[in-house]
Amino acid sequence: MTHEPFVRPELNVDDVTVTYNNGHTAIHNASFTLSGGSICALVGVNGSGKSTLFKSIMGLVRPTAGQVSLSDKPVADALKKNLIAYVPQTEDVDWNFPVLVEDVVMMGRYGKMNFLRIPSREDRLRVDKALERVGLSELRSRQIGELSGGQKKRVFLARALAQQGTVLLLDEPFTGVDVKTENAIIELLRALRDEGHLILVSTHNLGSVPEFCDRVILINRTVLAAGPTETTFTQSNLEQAFGGVLRHINLSGPDLHDDNDPRTVTVLTDDERPAVFYGHTKSDPPANSQAREKQS
């Protein structure tokens, strides 16, 4: 399957602060830059500002200070062109609302229709291609509430694909899905990255981050660390971002080695897939990241 080329986007969050009307500051002085052709994990505890950051990028909340831009233009311009697509948590959706799978995917085309929202041949073609890409063509006429958790995730991915956004924001895409579905989502995200898309994934699934994310942003009301996964997704940075929320499991000495090898295994988890670190210090990269480097 061939895909249309596009200019790779660059997302710039510059010293953004968001204070709500009740006086609560959700994020302050947050800054980072991301370029197309990458997958970035947004990692932090609940209440750390991940949702507010997403809303700022989507134009749903206006920064009290600082600015968000896409390819050196205000994010509002990108939103008018439907360049930013959002895949929500399934928990945020009313599954009792009677709507067909293909109709949900067609919603991704609304920004390109006239006010009557009558689908064109191009709109229907985009929906067909999006459903085919996520493997749901045969379920297009099903009520979305009848689908499994993993299938529902793929429907909203298809909606984002039909929108033709160059920036994809995914909110907890692995919550409530099995390993097979998780792997299928990761494979699709890798393909989109290779086509030039910029993908930002909010996730608690720490163990999967080193496997498919090129970059990581650790957040707790501000950006604590941002950069390549191998140097940023470290035990020390995770402990700073999560505080006492993560559970620690440590193995060393005779519990791990038959000799005097000083290296330790540390498992960090918040009830989802854990991050595993193997090495001498808290600045060592995750174990699965080390294995990936050896294979490449």
Residue among 232, 236, 198, 214 at smallest CA distance from 78: 198
Instruction: Provide the residue count of the chain.
Output: 296
pTM above 0.95, yes or no: no
- Cβ atoms of 215 and 229 closer than 8 Å: yes
Let me know if residue 65 belongs to a domain: yes
Let me know if residue 149 belongs to a domain: no
- pLDDT tens-digit readout, 170-202: 999 988 788 888 899 999 999 999 999 999 999
Let me know if residue 34 belongs to a domain: yes
pLDDT confidence of 52, banded at 50, 70, 90?
A: very high
Let me know if residue 62 belongs to a domain: yes
Residues 6 or more apart in contact with residue 181 via CB below 8 angstroms: 149, 150, 153, 154
Let me know if residue 128 belongs to a domain: no
Please give the order of strands across the beta sheet that includes 73-74. 25-35, 10-19, 65-70, 73-74
More confident residue, 10 or 253: 10
172, two tokens:
């907890």
Q: Is residue 247 helix, strand or coil?
A: strand
Q: What is the CATH number of the domain that holds 286?
A: 3.40.50.300
pLDDT confidence of 63, banded at 50, 70, 90?
A: very high
Assess whether pLDDT exceeds 60 at residue 2.
Answer: no
Let me know if residue 59 belongs to a domain: yes
Let me know if residue 58 belongs to a domain: yes
**Number of structural domains found in the chain:** 1
- pLDDT tens-digit readout, 16-46: 999 999 999 999 999 999 999 999 999 998 8
Let me know if residue 155 belongs to a domain: no
Residue 186 lies in domain: 10-83+165-295
More confident residue, 259 or 150: 150
- pLDDT score of 115: 81
